[in-house]
Amino acid sequence: MTIQPGDKVPDITLVRVCTNGPDKIATGAYFKGRRIVLFSVPGAFTPTCSAKHLPGFITEAEAFKDKGVDEIVCTAVNDPFVMAAWAKASAVDDRVTLLADGNGEFVRALGLDMDCTGFGLGMRGRRFAMIVGDGTVEQLFVEAPGEFEVSAAEYVLARL
C-alpha cells in the first residue's frame, strides 16, 4: 500500500557519504521535529533527474527555507558513493542532502517502488516528492510514469 498524507514516514536506514565515510541515517529520528521536503528520483545521473529535478531544488533551496522548510532531501535507489559523486557533480553544497536507498528498502516501505528491469535498471523508486512535518507526511506528489510535473521544485514550493 502506498503511503498517504497523515502517515508516518517508515523508519528505514538510508546512507550518505560524509568526510569520514558512509553515515547511516535512521529516517524515523532524522525526520522527527523538523519540516523536510523529500523528493525521490529514479536514478542519479539520469537525464531528467540531472537536468531538471535536482537542479530545481538546488535553485529554489532559499525559497524553501523562507517558507519554513528545515531541509531538502533527495533519495534514489543508488549506492551512497554514486549519490556523493552526483552531489559533487551537481554542485549541491549544503542546499540539498542526498541520501542513498541502495537496496530500495525505503521506497518499498513507502509503496513507491517500480520495476525498471525492462530498461536494465533493476528495481527503482518512482519519481515523487513529499512534505514531511515531524515525521508525518503532510502532502504527497507522485508522478505518473514518464512524467515530471507534480514533484518539481516549483510545484512543491507553491503548495507550502
Residue 152 lies in a domain: yes
Q: Nearest Cα to 127, choosing from 68, 70, 56, 23?
A: 56
Res. 118: pLDDT tops 90: no
Each residue's pLDDT tens digit, 10-67: 999 999 988 788 899 999 999 999 999 999 999 889 888 888 999 999 999 999 999 9
What is the CATH number for 131?
Answer: 3.40.30.10
Residue 1 lies in a domain: no
Residue 6, classified by CB atoms within 10 Å of its CB into exposed (0-12), middle (13-18) or buried (19+), is exposed
Each residue's pLDDT tens digit, 65-107: 999 999 999 999 999 999 999 999 999 999 999 999 999 999 9
Count of domains in the chain? 1
Q: Residue 63: which H helix or E strand, with range?
A: helix 61-66
Q: Which residues are catalytic?
A: 49
- Point out which residues pair with 114 in neighbouring strands: 124
21-27 own/partner pairs: CB under 8 Å, 24+ apart: 22/80, 25/99, 27/106
Within 10 angstroms of residue 20's Cβ, the number of other Cβ atoms is 6
121 pLDDT tier (thresholds 50, 70, 90): low
Angle, CA of 20, 25 and 28, to the nearest 5°: 160
Residue 74 lies in a domain: yes
Contact 123, 114 (CB under 8 A): yes
If one compares 139 and 120, the residue with the highest pLDDT of the two is 139
| pLDDT confidence of residue 120 | 63
pTM (2 d.p.): 0.94
The residue segments making up the domain with residue 106 are 13-158
Residue 6 lies in a domain: no
